[in-house]
Structure 1
Amino acid sequence: MEQGYQSFSNVKNIYCVGRNFGLHAKELGNAIPEQPMIFTKPTHAIAQADGTIPFFKTLGEIHHEVEIVLWVCRTYQPGMRLQELVNAFTIGIDFTARDIQSVLKAKGHPWVLSKGFPNSAVLAPFRPVDDATSLQSVSFGLRKNGVVVQHGTPAEMIFDFQTILDYIGTNLGLSEGDIIFTGTPAGVGPIADQEVLELLLNEEGIGKCQVSLA
């Protein structure tokens, strides 16, 4: 029987954690949050890290934000541990329309227009989690045109995986098919037309795409 994480069409909700790496918060001039900062994307934001991914130039400057993405495999109940809730993970890019986000932030409005546009949640194929310890020890990054521009580890996160799961599960609910973008390290930056982006897991490329701005 096919595992749910083997098909992106099985994704139900997309949760994202903002400002979960201290250096990233500082590079954008943001305060360090005292509790997880959660936002969402619609499921039509999902795109596979393969081939060409189009974006509209009308979005303005679009930034890449590489992240570890968790696949939730069952309904959250208080006290459940990471290894009970998550059976797969991957590396993804949370694309952000930065100009739009800056305007929304200044007005105190929600971020959805800057975060939820089509193809703004790019994912490499999910892979099974062997155990919670191995997931905590991975490294991840983004290579742009052959140069590594972002690199991070779970140890650098302000809020660890368990804290994120408990916070979202308690306040919003979690169930099978939900995915969580867990935060991006420093080094975010704009993309340009025809640039090649490669998602890295433990220095190995697991997904590659070219962006097209039209």
Structure 2
Amino acid sequence: MDQIRNIYCVGRNYKLHAEELGNDVPTKPMIFSKPTHALIEAAGGEIELPGSRGELHYETELVIHIARPYEPRAALEQIVDKIALGIDFTLRDVQSELKKKGHPWLLAKGFKNSAILTSFHAFPGLEACLKTDFTLLKNGEQAQRGNIGNVIFDLMTLIQYISENFGLEKGDVIYTGTPEGVGPVSDGDVLTFLWGQEKWGEFTARLR
């Protein structure tokens, strides 16, 4: 996996996902970040995850890799060079307590191995992405299915917003939000990523 500089994540970017958790639908992008220690590749092996801090939920997402800084006249294909699939793992019980107290989500979102990534693939262009669903299988059964066409804030809107508010450079990645269907993962679950019908990555969850 190439060196990644910053990990930006987008919360509640699919209307049905916001609604399934009882959250308001945002009117502007909700951005948070994860430390690079959270990154790990779904390369077929086991990945150790926290198993003693309440429910651990998978949130499957399209992840874009930034090739160059945002410029107002640049095309999306000039800024994004690669895509992957990923999971933004969330300690849901921890997050609920943090939200009640008005605290940041880092304890629930930024733990080691909480940012899963498949290998990267060349960005096929926006039109191809709109024609292709991404899927997470849990133990061979469909757990989540999404399409970037259903986001509230499209890719260029996210790129512009993050660039203007935080900065965006070559080597940064953006987890673009999760569709509905998030749920808990258990020890020994095998999680498989599909882009269309093509398998992009897989791992076994080990909860400790």
Same fold (TM over 0.5): yes
Taking the aligned partners of 1:33 and 1:198, their CA distance within structure 2 comes to 30
Aligned to 1:32: 25
Offset of residue 21 of structure 1:
0.6
Taking the aligned partners of 1:142 and 1:91, their CA distance within structure 2 comes to 9
Aligned to 1:15: 8
Taking the aligned partners of 1:80 and 1:184, their CA distance within structure 2 comes to 26
Determine whether 1:156 maps to 2:150.
yes
AA of the residue aligned to 1:53? I
Aligned to 1:147: 141
Superposition CA RMSD, Å: 1.1
Offset of residue 154 of structure 1:
1.0
Taking the aligned partners of 1:26 and 1:203, their CA distance within structure 2 comes to 28
Aligned to 1:105: 99
Segments of structure 1 that go 5 or more residues without pairing to the other structure are 1-6
Taking the aligned partners of 1:37 and 1:130, their CA distance within structure 2 comes to 26
Taking the aligned partners of 2:187 and 2:144, their CA distance within structure 1 comes to 19
Segments of structure 2 that go 5 or more residues without pairing to the other structure are none
Aligned to 2:180: 186
2:52 is paired with a residue whose SS is: helix
Offset of residue 80 of structure 1:
2.6
Offset of residue 134 of structure 1:
1.8
Taking the aligned partners of 1:57 and 1:173, their CA distance within structure 2 comes to 34
Pairs aligned (count):
207
Native 8 Å contact 1:72 1:88 kept in 2: yes
Native 8 Å contact 1:78 1:170 kept in 2: no
Going from structure 1 to structure 2, the CA distance change for 1:104 and 1:79 (only over 3 Å counts) comes to farther
Matches within 5 A, 1:1-214: 7-8=1-2, 10-50=3-43, 51-214=45-208
Offset of residue 136 of structure 1:
3.2
Offset of residue 200 of structure 1:
1.2
TM-score by length of 1: 0.94
